[in-house]
Structure 1
Amino acid sequence: MKNKILAIVVTVILFSGCASNNSQYYWGEYEGLVYKTHHTPGEVPPSIQIELLQTDIEKAAAVGKPIPPGVYAHLGLMYAANGNKELALASLTKEKELYPESSTFIDGLIKRSLNNS
């Protein structure tokens, strides 16, 4: 009988752990924005993307979750597309600070996005 109860308790704990919908990051509008950017280019202009990304960053801070990798890089590229090199560099640098493993990639983005425009 004890083994049966133990098996039930363990099963409930395992399934409740699997059912958790908590994400490590605050994704906000980012995934949908990336999808739209690649599948319907031009539908969401850089200025709107900047607003959406800034809002996501603010909401992430409000709920105490980190933003996912790529958000600051995307934001930096949108600033560059709008001609704001200073904010573009700041955002790309922030991406490198948060995710140092992206340094080589971000350095390439900085070189191509800011030095050639």
Structure 2
Amino acid sequence: METGAVMRGGILSFASRSVRAATGLGMLAAACTLAGCAHRTESLYQWENYQAQVYQYLKGSSSDPQAQIAVLEQDFQKIQARQRKPPPGFHAHLGLLYATIGKDDQAVQQFQTEKALFPESTAFMDMLLDKAKAKTKTGAGKEASL
């Protein structure tokens, strides 16, 4: 009878230690997971007001392209000061705004910058650059739009 009691006590003691160890490992795993969630990776791009400006443009609520240009140019200065990158489409949108007010040289410069920074935009930027060249050749001025 004594051997059975010792054996049961040993098994119970072993089971108790196993449960405690498993609980400790579970808590350690949970702590590591939560610590991993707390780490924030920085965005590849600095967005500033770009998304709001595009939304206003597409919604048609901003009737002043020069005001949008001023905001985006100011944002670009901030992005450069922080040594970050503007998001995809930033220079393309700025180029479209320049084209809207008839500053075709600046529009072409922005389209070329977009194309250089984001090669996946090449087809679209080439199309806009071709339209800008055609507009310049015909001398259409402000009336023609990209």
- Pick the TM interval, shorter chain: 0.7 to 0.9
Aligned residue runs from structure 1 range 10-89, under 5 A: 10-17=32-39, 20=40, 22-39=42-59, 41=60, 43-89=62-108
Separation of aligned partners in 2, 1:49 and 1:93: 20
In the alignment, structure 1 residue 97 sits paired with structure 2 residue 116: yes
What runs of 5+ residues in structure 2 fail to find an aligned partner?
A: 1-20, 136-143
1:49-95 C-alpha deviation (Å, 9 max, x unpaired): 11111111111111221000001011111111111111111111000
Separation of aligned partners in 1, 2:67 and 2:133: 21
Structure 1 position 42, deviation (Å)? 5.3
- TM-score (normalised: structure 1): 0.85
Separation of aligned partners in 2, 1:61 and 1:51: 15
* Greater RCO, 1 or 2 (C-alpha within 8 Å, sep 6+): 1
- The count of aligned residue pairs is 114
1:22-71 C-alpha deviation (Å, 9 max, x unpaired): 322111111001111111x1524111111111111111111221000001
Counterpart residue type for residue 37 of structure 1? Y
CA-based RMSD? 1.8
What runs of 5+ residues in structure 1 fail to find an aligned partner?
A: none
- TM-score (normalised: structure 2): 0.70
User: Could you tell me whether the CA contact under 8 Å between 2:108 and 2:132 is conserved in 1?
Assistant: no
Separation of aligned partners in 1, 2:90 and 2:63: 16
Counterpart residue type for residue 4 of structure 1? G
Once the two structures are aligned, what percentage of the paired residues are identical? 32
In the alignment, structure 1 residue 3 sits paired with structure 2 residue 25: yes
Which contiguous aligned blocks of 4+ residues in structure 1 show a shift greater than 4 angstroms?
Answer: none
Counterpart residue type for residue 106 of structure 2? L
